[in-house]
Amino acid sequence: MKIFWPHGFLFVLLMSMGGCIVIEGGVELTKTIWGSSTRSLEGARKHALAKTYDKNYWDVMQATLNVIAKNEYEIFKKDEVKGYVILLGIQGSVNTTEVGVFFVELNEGQTRVEISSLSTNAKRIVSKALFRGLDEAFGLVIVPEKVDVNQPTGT
């Protein structure tokens, strides 16, 4: 027990002081160690897949959350004010692969959605589903009617 006590105490002390560190980048360093930093996804935004919608920020945010729920993606982290949602659980990717969905309010009636990830495959999967879902939500594509094959036709 004597061996664990100093190391365990030091770990808890360092993790709890992460928010109190005054040096620049201290909080981000603690988040990176803990595994909840958005820095890597922010950096990957230069290679993001993006699409602009002629809708206000909050309409795009709400529609995005609806599409995320429909696709059963796990929301790992969300900040609607800062304009991002971090997703996990992308089918076809490692379950810890993060995908960032970022929102940029261009003006009162236009919002750009950017999707970034260190995994090209996960980024592509989410982009395809999210942009298709947003296009449907905003009436930009015609959603085919579901046909009941068990219903008799008029012939």
pLDDT digits (tens, 9 = 90+) for 20-68: 544 444 434 434 434 446 788 888 889 999 999 999 999 999 999 999 9
- What span, in angstroms and rounded, lies between the C-alpha atoms of 68 and 48? 18
Q: Is 44 left (phi over 0), alpha (psi -120 to 50) or beta?
A: alpha
Rounded to two decimals, what is the model's pTM? 0.70
Residue 5 in this model has a pLDDT that exceeds 80:
no
Strands 110-117 and 99-107: antiparallel
Report how far residue 142's alpha carbon sits from residue 144's, in angstroms, rounded to the nearest whole number.
6
pLDDT: which is higher, 96 or 36:
96
How far the first Cα of the chain sits from its last, in Å, is 82
Answer for the pair 118, 40: CB distance below 8 angstroms, yes or no. yes
Q: Which two tokens stand for residue 53?
A: 């919608």
| % pLDDT > 90, the chain | 56
Could you tell me where in the chain the CATH 3.30.310.80 domains are found? 38-137
Return the CA Rg of the chain.
21
Q: What is the mean pLDDT of residues 64-81?
A: 95
CATH 3.40.50.300 fits 38-137, yes or no: no
Half-sphere exposure of 94 (CA within 13 A, CB side): 7
Give the model's pLDDT for residue 89.
87
Q: How confident is the model at residue 18 (pLDDT cuts 50, 70, 90)?
A: low
Question: Contact at 8 Å (CB) between 114 and 45?
Answer: yes
